[in-house]
Structure 1
Amino acid sequence: MELMSTVTSKGQTTVPLEVRRRLGLGPRQKIVYVVEDDGVRIKAAGKGLMSVAGALSGGKAFVGKEAERASYRAARAKRIK
């Protein structure tokens, strides 16, 4: 499979969707360029920080920013009543 993208004047490019899917890349995740004699390989740099969120929380799952805010608002509304 060959895919193409364009490099901008700032040296930026968009990683094609099929490549992102195959590498399991998400937003803001780093990629590694492995330069070899006959070309360049691209691979995922590893999991992002969110993949380890909650690892030290004693078993509590990471709920996410929106859920945390909703919980805070509900608790605050309960105190005000």
Structure 2
Amino acid sequence: MKRRQSRYVNGGESFAEIARRPAGTVVMLSLNTGLEDALREASKSLKSAFTRSGRKCRLSAGTAKGPFCGRQQGVATHLFVAVL
């Protein structure tokens, strides 16, 4: 299967593959911090992939240590995708 890479995320699998994961799965994606809008654009693309597949997800920004609790508490370097 052809693997498409997003310029907003470093490595990882395609957003469509993440949308096909089983419910309860949490995926941690490393954002490309060199791009200013990486968090926003990756979030939009992920939501679109889940909508196309008829599924839902919950997105959380954070660092490698884990997602932020509540409002943003620093610079987000990772995006956490919880498949619902």
TM-score using structure 2 length: 0.25
More strand by share: 2
More helix per residue: 1 or 2? 1
Greater relative CO (CA pairs within 8 A, separation 6+): 2
Normalising by the residue count of structure 1, what TM-score does the alignment of the two structures yield? 0.26
